[in-house]
Structure 1
Amino acid sequence: MAALDRHARARGSAQEEAPGLPPPGDAPLPGDDLPELVRRYCRGIVAAARYVTIDESGLERAAERWAQEGLASDPPALDSDDHFLDGGRSEVCAYLLTLDAINFGSGWFPTLRKRPGRSGYRTIASALADHFRAHGPWSNAELRAISAETVAHVLGQDPEHPLMALFARALRDLGAFLGEREPLAVVASADGSAKRLAATLARAMPFFDDRGFWKRAQITANDLALASVATFGDLDDLTIFADNLVPHVLRVDGVLRYDPALAARIDRGEPIPANSPPEREIRAAAVCACERLAALVGRPPREIDVWLWNRGQDRRYKARPRHRTRTVFY
């Protein structure tokens, strides 16, 4: 009970400081079979949805077209130009845990200083990679004391940008979670289970406790596996990593249909509030659609996610607004 009380207090404190945290009880607690909780939760949302629907015929057409374009054959990978993958296993593990601790903020990305030719995420990932190459990882003690000013300097951003304080908070949480452990000890503690690692992250750090979706907790396990830092026997049990880009690709390619008023709001660039019914329906529909896609093309949802996310970097997807939500979860 004491551990649960501490988790509730941490969530309460984070709720005051960071947007996007759902109230306790809004969705299930992060259990050991976390991906199955996501599937059940998303099916429930889709069954009662008012703003977003899955076009089954559009999904089947897209699956056939995408399979011809490499969806069922191209293996997922992390881009070595944007990520620090050339160090030792311990350093790469530290990099990915650090990066995934701050892998959020897409609702603010239009206001970031972008590196030439790079998106908001790739700007952050590559700037952090450059820091690791030049200086190595922060120690756990340095993470616990890190400031918004330090984060901004490393990422090439304005220290007053609201994301910098949120990133600093997330990194302090990571330092507290690590304690005196090496990053690889976190991987070892999962005992070969991506689901166990994801549940551990979601329980330990409020910014990972994305109730009902747990996008960032799951993607951390996937990133560690893609970088050959970890081997998980249940990796393919993960769902997609529900954000705002994968559903955007699904919408542009005719798989998701939005209520006309919601579509107009998104197309105008109007923010969609975190945890509002439309925002949760968009993410839940993406999860359920990609479960169906996975069955149609014979690939696990996590691979569907990586392929669609990379597809979303194409100019034609960037030419059309995606939904923007200011949240610490994506």
Structure 2
Amino acid sequence: MLQVALTPMESGEWISQRSGAVRVDIPRCHQLARQIMDSIQDGTIGDIEYKASPLHPEGLSDEQHLNWVFVIDTLNFSFWPNDNEEYYVDYRGNREVGYLAMCAAFMKAYEGDIPICDAGWMETVTEEDLGKILVSGSGHAIPMLHQRARALNESGKWLKDRYNGQMMGVVRACGTSAQSLLRTILTIESFRDQTSFRGANVWLLNRAQVLVADVYSVLKGSSTQEFRYLVNYIDIDTITMFADYRVPQALCHLGIMHYSPQLRLRLDNGEVMPFADDMEIEIRGCSIYAVNEIFKAVIRMRLNDYMGVNWYTAHRPIFAIDIHAWLLQYRREHAQAVDAAVPFHRCRQIYY
């Protein structure tokens, strides 16, 4: 297995302590934690889990569903538009954009009997055929089509050669450890989201952690006892938020993160940042740190609020990945206000 120099949680703290362009407001983290707690108590946070989305097929076996999320998460990167060529797909009367547009495109392909869940298809699908599936409703190609085809071929070969084409085989091999699953996924090159910052090897691992979280979501809703046992991860709380380009927007809009004038100028000018640019790393690393601080504050509040009560069963469990989902949903619901307040950072890269 690959050795991670600094885990995403450690990387977030390391980066935030040495960041010059991004600052995390700890008091605001604690204030937002109370808002998250309200969402736990009224149940709204439960509506934003992976399986709540209508853009994943129904009627799949657990094995097929895990292969589905493997395909989706292999390609879950870089949806922001080139020159205002928004990536969208019309499906069942709705216009979906970005990641949800890709899900809609694959739903159409699945309903058209294309074997999306088959590792052999993943390994051999051509860039041309993948482009036909993922084409935007405007006729434009999805961003980074070549890189997506290459990543999908790599993932399909890995799954077929090592695990007989079944993501369930990966899950079984890793037992009930989210970290074991994460390390195994990192044997696929396209998931190794790492760089260096201020003398340390930092791993942010956006897509790899998304895949772990989606596996967790699929299996915890299973009706099969074995599968429910497999997802009994004692270390799911070690999976951090997913360091992407949309959640930092929400964190800035909510006053959790603050950008320097120099960074804000680059964003306002629409500059495309190189991967591993210091400011790009700081945005992503500080996002991880900020969400982890919110997560820790939520845990403290739960302990205080439910002292003397079985708080494990009073409300659903909460993890950093849930806070990420809450922030992403917040960004979608307030898209116009968030976009007007702060641009997202642009970086064309397969890792997020």
Q: So what's the TM-score if we normalise by structure 1?
A: 0.83
Distance of 2:53 and 2:38 partners within structure 1: 26
Equivalent of residue 100 in structure 2, options 109, 114, 122: 122
Q: Does the alignment pair 1:194 with 2:172?
A: no
Amino acid at match of 2:132: H
Residue 82 (structure 1) shift: 1.9
Tell me the equivalent position of 1:279.
280
Amino acid at match of 1:67: M
Distance of 2:14 and 2:63 partners within structure 1: 40
Residue 258 (structure 1) shift: 0.3
Amino acid at match of 2:285: A
Distance of 1:64 and 1:166 partners within structure 2: 41
Q: Deviations over 1:269-310 (max 9, x none)?
A: 222221100011011111111111001112321111111111
Q: 1:138 to 1:302 in 2, by over 3 A?
A: closer
Number of residues paired by the alignment?
Answer: 299
Map 1:167-316 → 2, pairs under 5 A? 167-180=148-161, 181=164, 182-203=166-187, 205-211=188-194, 212-228=203-219, 231-233=231-233, 234-298=235-299, 299-314=318-333, 315=335, 316=337
Residue 142 (structure 1) shift: 2.5
Q: Deviations over 1:150-200 (max 9, x none)?
A: 111111246866511111001111111112412321221221222111111
| Structure with the larger strand share | 2
SS of 1:312's partner is helix
Tell me the equivalent position of 2:66.
93
Q: 1:30 to 1:71 in 2, by over 3 A?
A: farther
8 Å contact kept, 2:23–2:259: yes
Residue 138 (structure 1) shift: 5.0
Tell me the equivalent position of 1:48.
18
Distance of 2:160 and 2:13 partners within structure 1: 37
Which has the larger Rg?
Answer: 2
Distance of 2:325 and 2:206 partners within structure 1: 13
Distance of 1:192 and 1:133 partners within structure 2: 33
8 Å contact kept, 1:84–1:130: no
8 Å contact kept, 1:95–1:132: no
Distance of 1:162 and 1:252 partners within structure 2: 26
Q: 1:202 to 1:270 in 2, by over 3 A?
A: same
8 Å contact kept, 1:54–1:256: yes
Root-mean-square deviation (Å):
2.4
Higher mean displacement: 68-77 or 133-142: 68-77
Q: Deviations over 1:72-126 (max 9, x none)?
A: 8522412432223442212211110000010111355753531253221110012
List alignment gaps of at least 5 residues for structure 1: 5-28
Distance of 1:69 and 1:162 partners within structure 2: 35
Amino acid at match of 2:176: G
8 Å contact kept, 1:198–1:217: yes
Distance of 2:142 and 2:8 partners within structure 1: 32
Tell me the equivalent position of 1:164.
145
Higher mean displacement: 278-287 or 136-145: 136-145
Tell me the equivalent position of 2:302.
none
Q: 1:68 to 1:141 in 2, by over 3 A?
A: closer
Distance of 2:86 and 2:133 partners within structure 1: 14
Tell me the equivalent position of 1:16.
none
Amino acid at match of 1:286: S
Tell me the equivalent position of 1:147.
126
Q: Deviations over 1:203-234 (max 9, x none)?
A: 2x211000111111111011112122661412
Tell me the equivalent position of 2:306.
none
Amino acid at match of 1:63: A
Q: 1:308 to 1:161 in 2, by over 3 A?
A: closer
Residue 30 (structure 1) shift: 4.3
Q: Does the alignment pair 1:113 with 2:87?
A: yes
Q: Does the alignment pair 1:82 with 2:82?
A: no
Distance of 1:254 and 1:103 partners within structure 2: 27
Q: So what's the TM-score if we normalise by structure 2?
A: 0.78
Distance of 2:296 and 2:321 partners within structure 1: 12
Q: Does the alignment pair 1:327 with 2:349?
A: yes
Distance of 1:198 and 1:72 partners within structure 2: 32
